[in-house]
Amino acid sequence: MAVLGVDFGTSNSAAAVARDGKPHLIALEAGQTTLPTAVFFDFDTKKMLIGTAAGKALLAGDEGRYMRALKSLLGAPLMRERRNMLGEKLDFIDIVARFLARIKTAAEAETGLRFDHALSGRPVRFHADDARNAQAELDLREAYARAGFDDVTFMYEPEAAALANRDVLAQGDLGLIVDIGGGTSDFTLFRNGTDAIDILASFGVRLGGTDFDRMVSLETVMPLLGRGSQIKHAFGNETHTAPTTIFNDLATWQKIPFLYAPESRRLAKDLEKYAAEPLKLARLVSVLEDEIGHDIAFAVEAGKIAANDAGNGAIDLSIVERNLSVPLGEGMVEELLDPMAGEMAHAALRTVANAQVAPEDVTHLVFVGGSSLMKVTRSALAAKFPQAKVHHGHALTAIVDGLGLASKSAFE
């Protein structure tokens, strides 16, 4: 029985199988083994574009609807709301299913095998709420079924990463996987054995790289669009602060598409009409009218990464207004993200406490996941485990490597 290991990620996805005792990653696009978890409904061609093609259509200004971070919607009632997309009534489970079907098709074309079974990675916790967490797995299971898989079983993502990174540990060593992904942060403490690993504890929190983007956007970009601005009352001289919801949603990847509804655009125009700082609210109006919320999100993400690499940088907002940008001074991004990095470190400590292990007994910290590349997360975690050797696993492929290795025996 052929089993496909699938890492359905918030920002990027990948697939792998076991081949000669090693993971073999599937080429999901030309020359690429990772696929951006994004779709674009092209209004002109009436097609749903997936991955890199979706991003290119957005940046080219094609008429359509772009969606990213679909994984973050799992477990929410919104997943089962049906909407008119290119003449079809679809819910978000359908959209995820079509994305997964693309992965299935690519894997079958490359290997010549038929994959009716999948081993899927999943966060330790999709959500803090138990009912919503359980619903998220049910949603994802149904998406696999609609994608054409007869059955799917799940493996915690940090446990898959532990399996893929055991070679950096000696026998008897204690390793802590620190998996900082796009939407969640997951931790697995494991002991390396002779022939296998012993999972001691796993824990996770709903906090990841998209939350980093949101924080940077809220504190640096959204004030230029009117966040915190005063709005005059229609009668009298009193004012009130502009409602925060519209800015919170505009700074949140998965909520951006819903702001282009008529009611959101009307709200922005009403705010501009009575704004004490009309220029800022006029920018908000144009962002919604031109549907460039995702362009701003990409600019924030790029600025965050540049500042992480160089210590400072800027967010280019020329898509909003010529020569508009936000400087990111030395240490500014780290200061904004430090409280969230502290939450991640606390979750790591809780993981080892659940296994009744002292932090000083952890011999290795293994960082995986795209957002583990942020200095602020590495500093926060290393400070809690000062005795541990730090290992930087393959940030984007550690989880799928482990899923590929485990796929061979997933249904035994």
Answer whether residue 173 shows pLDDT above 90. Answer: yes
Which pLDDT value is given to residue 157?
Answer: 97
- At 304, give phi and psi (nearest 5°): -60, -45
For the beta carbon of residue 198, count every other beta carbon within 10 angstroms.
11
Q: What is the mean pLDDT of the chain?
A: 95
Segment 273-289, tens digit of pLDDT:
999 999 999 999 999 99
So where are the chain's domains?
3-159+400-407, 169-208+335-395, 210-331
How many helices (H) and strands (E) would you count in the chain?
12, 20
pLDDT at residue number 293: 97
CATH match for 169-208+335-395 among 3.20.20.10, 2.40.128.260, 3.30.420.40, 3.50.50.60? 3.30.420.40
Provide the residue type at 396 as one letter. Answer: L
At residue 36, the pLDDT reads 96
Q: Please state which CATH class domain 3-159+400-407 belongs to.
A: alpha beta
Residue 25 tokens, joined = 């990653």
169-208+335-395 has the same fold as 3-159+400-407:
yes
359-394 per-position pLDDT tens digit: 999 999 999 998 998 999 999 999 999 999 999 878
pLDDT digit string (tens) for 79-100?
999 999 888 999 999 999 999 9
- How far are the Cα atoms of 88, 93, 226, 243, 304 from residue 130, in angstroms, in the given order? 33, 20, 36, 30, 32
The pLDDT value given to residue 315: 98
Amino acid identity, position 371: S
Read off the tokens for 95: 């959209």
Pick from 186, 189, 188: nearest CA to 204: 186
Q: Is the pLDDT of residue 235 over 80?
A: no
